[in-house]
């Protein structure tokens, strides 16, 4: 039996990610890179990707890096998004890519969990167009809620 990839895990547990047909380009503990293909059914009034679709793309990228970085902790804690803030910087057109990075080391977060705390940590996500221009930046604060 093979272990599902982070992308397969997200698609199976988060139907919205599957609905948007997100592409998982990289899902490691250091970085997660997801792409939202250009799909007219998810366009806004100026024929670019809708803000809600870009929010979901970025939040999904953050979830992938959290799953990759803390997969060994899932038996004792559940990852939850606490809050998110997004800034739309430039007009997005066509496909867009989200790149997520952790704002704290996994070791720091796990050390807090080991002390019986409920750690919080930021994940920063840059959303870019195919030409490399940054169209948005999102910061999601995550927590690892201990089970029980």
pLDDT mean by block of 10 residues, the chain; 148 residues:
77 88 94 96 94 96 96 95 96 96 97 96 98 97 93
Give the model's pLDDT for residue 144. 97
**How far, in Å, are 17, 26, 46, 63 from residue 53 at the CA level?**
9, 19, 14, 15
Q: What is the pLDDT of residue 120?
A: 98
The pLDDT, as a whole number, for residue 115 is: 95
pLDDT at residue 74, rounded to an integer: 92
- Locate 26 and state its tokens: 């990289």
Are 138 and 62 contacting, i.e. CB atoms less than 8 angstroms apart?
yes
Strand partners, 43: 49
Bridge partner residues of 83 (DSSP): 141
Q: Where are the beta strands (DSSP E) in the chain?
A: 23-27, 32-36, 77-88, 96-102, 120-129, 134-146
Distance CA 3, CA 83 (A): 30
- At 22 the three-state DSSP class reads coil
- Bridge-partner residues for 26, per DSSP? 33
- Residue 11 is predicted with a pLDDT of 86
pLDDT of residue 16: 86
β-pair partners for 49: 43
Please tell me the distance from the alpha carbon of residue 63 to that of residue 66, in angstroms, as a whole number. 5
């Amino acid at each position: 039996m093979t272990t599902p990839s982070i992308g397969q895990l997200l698609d199976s547990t988060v139907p919205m990610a599957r609905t948007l047909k997100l592409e998982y380009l990289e899902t490691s503990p250091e970085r997660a890179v997801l792409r939202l293909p250009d799909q007219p059914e998810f366009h806004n009034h100026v024929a670019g990707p809708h803000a809600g679709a870009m929010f979901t793309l970025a939040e999904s990228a953050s979830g992938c890096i959290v799953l990759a970085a803390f997969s060994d902790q899932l038996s004792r804690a559940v990852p939850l998004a606490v809050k998110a803030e997004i800034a739309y910087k430039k007009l997005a057109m066509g496909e867009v890519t989200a790149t997520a990075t952790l704002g704290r080391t996994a070791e720091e977060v796990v050390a807090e969990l080991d002390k019986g705390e409920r750690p919080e940590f930021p994940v920063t996500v840059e959303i870019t167009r195919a030409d490399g221009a940054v169209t948005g930046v999102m910061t999601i604060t995550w927590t690892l809620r201990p089970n029980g």
